[in-house]
Amino acid sequence: MSGTNALIDIRRELHKIPEIGFQEYKTQQFLLNYIDSLPQENLEIKTWKTGIFVKINGNNPSKMIGYRADMDGLPIVEETGLPFKSEHKDQMHACGHDLHMTIALGLITRFVKERINDDLLFIFQPAEEGPGGAEPMLKSDIMQEWKPDMIIALHIAPEYPVGTIALREGLLFANTSELFIDLKGKGGHAAYPHNTNDMVVAACALVSQLQSVVSRNVDPLDSAVITIGKITGGTVQNIIAEKARLEGTIRTLSPESMKKVKSRVKALVRGVEVGFECEALTDFGSMYHQVYNEETLTREFMEFARSNTEMNVVECREAMTGEDFGYMLEKIPGFMFWLGVESEYGLHHAKLNPDETAIEKAIDFIAAYLKYKG
């Protein structure tokens, strides 16, 4: 691989084949085929489920530096109209993981030819969007054998221009949890509501009650979000719904607030059970640990970027975004940063179209930092 065009071609090939968590079979094979085409003398490659570990042995290692790139796509119907749009029905790289992987491949290509003293470990991680691949990957035998001394990752940011990185010391991304609530009452004819327990009415009441949790149970100087993004219930317009399902997400800036919010959600659900004489089941699904940037390494990285590169460094605020890279940062010191890709449409949007010139800029910048550290 050489030059911007080759990088863009790789990104576009990956963009065509998005796959959801732990089903990244084509993606894994594409990555392996490319890595196998590189000089192998100083490479060690191991697979884990649909993920990949790539170790580049250093000239005189005293430590190992980790770099993580996520692999999965989202269950979104792409609406970009691009000639390289997704070939997989109802799936799209709407979070930029195609760019993340391309940048990692570019770095591997560079460092198999320009080895540094320290070992480098590139981690292609599946299932970031769900159900979560970082935590089980962290616990794998391979990771225990090849545990880095520090680890870094990036995430594209459509709101920032190309040539900008954004990060902060400490908390960057929130604690997150999925939320699923199933209600079961008694269905019946729309003309005889007194003989039923209407779960559409119960669901609507519960959605309204859930909005009181953040406003009345979380410290106003803290932050939390409860969003119900999907409600399903009923069959046709003249039958009272026997069942309803709420699907949403909880996000908090502290683990303590997450515990409190979940406790209040469960209490409100119990109240709906009593008030609407129904059965209710609450499932918090997958939970992601906060992304917390280790202060010393982050500060050093920001100073390096300002002093030694042309990157514009922005000290950003924390965000309610969820990222399972937080599990890795809980066990390994490191940091994550935003990479500007300037797109009219944001993350998880069906028309997200990142500026591809950010790819080569990111590779040059990260390579310079890794050489500085290693």
Write phi, then psi, for 192 (nearest 5 degrees). Answer: -130, 60
Return the bridge partners of 166, or none. 314, 338
Cα 340-73-45 angle, rounded to 5 deg: 90
Q: Is residue 356 annotated as a catalytic residue, yes or no?
A: no
Q: Is residue 159 annotated as a catalytic residue, yes or no?
A: no
C-beta separation of 289 from 175 below 8 A: yes
Helix, strand, coil in percent for the chain, rounding step 5: 35, 25, 35
Give the whole-angstrom CA distance, residue 347 versus residue 247: 20
DSSP string, 232-275: EE-SSTTEE-SEEEEEEEEEESSHHHHHHHHHHHHHHHHHHHHH
Query: In the 8-state DSSP scheme, what is residue 90?
Result: T
Give the whole-angstrom CA distance, residue 306 versus residue 132: 34
Residue type, 171: L
Maximum separation of any 2 CA atoms in the chain, in Å: 80
Spot the catalytic one: 118, 129, 242, 294. Answer: 129
Omega within 30 of 0 (cis) for the link into 131: yes
Query: In the 8-state DSSP scheme, what is residue 92?
Result: B
- Residue 343: count other Cβ atoms within 10 Å of its Cβ: 20
- In angstroms, the Cα distances linking 248 to 180, 270, 294 are 6, 18, 30
What tokens does 233 get? 């219930």
Spot the catalytic one: 19, 24, 70, 135. Answer: 70
C-beta separation of 320 from 290 below 8 A: no
Query: In the 8-state DSSP scheme, what is residue 194?
Result: G
Give the whole-angstrom CA distance, residue 102 versus residue 327: 23
* Helix (H/G/I), strand (E/B), else coil: 345: coil
Instruction: Tell me the catalytic residues.
Output: 70, 129
